[in-house]
Amino acid sequence: MNKALKNPLVFTLFVLPALFLFLMFFVYPIFSSIYYSLTSWNGVSDTVKYTGLTNFKKALGDERFWISAKNNGWFIIFSCFVQVPLIVLFSLLIANVKKLKGLYKTAVFMPAIMSTAVIGILWGFIYEPNIGLINKIIGLFGVDPIYWLSDERFAMLSILITNAWQWTGFYIVMVLAAILSIPGELDEAAKIDGATGVQRALRITLPLIMPIISIVIMLSIAGAMKAADIVIVMTKGGPAGSTEVMATYMIKYAITNFKYGYGNAIAVLIFMFTLVVTAFYQLVIARRNERIEY
Amino acid sequence: MKKSLTMLLSLIFVTSALMTGCGGNNNNKTTNAGEATNAPDATNAAATEEPVSSEPFEMTIRHTQVGADKQKRLAILEDVVGKVQGEVPGLTFKLDGVDSDVNRKEKLRGEMAAGNPPEIFDLFGSPDSKIYAKESKLLDLTPILEELGIKDKFSNLDPFTYEGKIYGLPIGGSGEGFFYNKGYYTEKGWKAPTTFAELEQQLADIKADGKVPLAGASKAGWVPLMLANHLWSRYAGPDVTAKFPTGEAKWSDANVVKGFSKYKEWIDKGYFKKGELGFEYAEYTTQFTSGEAILMYDGTWKSSVFKAGQSGEGMIGKVGFFNIPPVEGGVGDQTALMRDVNNGYGFSASVADDERQLAAVKSFIKNLFNEEMQLRGLVEDGVLPAMKIDQAKLNSSITDDLMSEIVAVLNSSQSSFPAFDSLVQADVTTEISNIQIQSLIGGQTTPEKMGAALQKVQEEANAAVE
Least confident of A12-21, A263-272, B235-244, B382-391: B382-391
Interface with B, mutate which of A41, A130, A150 (most B CBs under 10 A) = A150
According to the model, what pLDDT value does residue B51 have?
56
Which among B112, B220, B278 has the least Cβ separation from residue A147? B278
If one compares A47 and B297, the residue with the highest pLDDT of the two is B297
Distance from CA of B142 to the nearest CA of A (A): 22
Determine phi and psi for A266, rounding to 5 degrees. Answer: -65, -40
Pairwise CA distance, residues B6 & B14, whole Å = 12
Please give the single-letter amino acid code of residue A35. Answer: Y
Distance from CA of B113 to the nearest CA of A (A): 4
CB contacts of A45 in chain B (<8 Å) are: 134-135
CB contacts of A17 in chain B (<8 Å) are: 14-15, 18
**CA Rg value for chain B:** 26
DSSP string, B98-164: --HHHIIIIIHHHHHHHT---SEEEEEIIIIIHHHHHTT-B---HHHHHHHT-TT-BS--GGGEETT
Q: Is pLDDT above 60 for B5? A: no
Please give the single-letter amino acid code of residue B310. Answer: Q
According to the model, what pLDDT value does residue B384 have?
87
How does pLDDT run across B405-427, given as a tens digit for each residue?
Answer: 998 898 888 888 999 988 898 88
Q: How far is CA B324 from CA B231, B298, B382, B456, in A?
A: 8, 12, 20, 29
User: Which chain A residues have any C-beta within 8 angstroms of a chain B C-beta?
Assistant: 1, 3-4, 7, 10, 13-14, 16-17, 42-46, 64, 127, 129-130, 145, 147-152, 155, 235-241, 251-253, 255-258, 260
Which among A130, A238, A258 has the least Cβ separation from residue B426? A258
Q: What percent of chain B has pLDDT over 70?
A: 88
How does pLDDT run across B448-462, given as a tens digit for each residue?
Answer: 999 999 999 999 999
The most confident of A43-57, B21-35, B358-372, by mean pLDDT: B358-372
A-B Cβ pairs (cutoff 8 Å, strict) = 112
How does pLDDT run across B326-337, given as a tens digit for each residue?
Answer: 999 999 999 999
According to the model, what pLDDT value does residue A243 have?
94
Please give the single-letter amino acid code of residue B309. Answer: G
Element (H, E) at B403: helix B401-412
Structural domain spans, chain A: 38-293
Least confident of A268-277, B62-71, B166-175, B293-302: B62-71
Pairwise CA distance, residues B36 & B33, whole Å = 5
Q: Report the pLDDT averaged over residues B82-99.
A: 94
Determine whether the interchain pair A44/B426 forms a contact, defined as Cβ–Cβ distance below 8 Å.
no
Q: Is pLDDT above 50 for B26? A: no
According to the model, what pLDDT value does residue B29 have?
36
According to the model, what pLDDT value does residue A156 have?
94
Architecture of domain A38-293: Orthogonal Bundle (1.10)
Do B389 and B150 touch, CB atoms closer than 8 A?
A: no
Q: Report the pLDDT averaged over residues A96-104.
A: 86
Q: Report the pLDDT averaged over residues B129-139.
A: 92
According to the model, what pLDDT value does residue A293 have?
64
Q: Report the pLDDT averaged over residues B65-94.
A: 90
Least confident of B6-10, B44-48, B101-105, B348-352: B44-48
Which among A147, A152, A258 has the least Cβ separation from residue B131? A258
Distance from CA of A249 to the nearest CA of B (A): 11
Distance from CA of A123 to the nearest CA of B (A): 12
According to the model, what pLDDT value does residue B22 have?
44
Q: Report the pLDDT averaged over residues B222-245.
A: 96
What is the band of B38 on the pLDDT scale with cuts at 50, 70, 90?
Answer: very low
List of residues 6+ apart from B443 with CB closer than 8 A: B267
How does pLDDT run across A179-228, given as a tens digit for each residue?
Answer: 988 888 888 898 898 888 889 988 889 889 998 998 899 899 988 988 89
pTM above 0.95, yes or no: no
CB contacts of A14 in chain B (<8 Å) are: 11
Q: What percent of chain B has pLDDT over 90?
A: 61
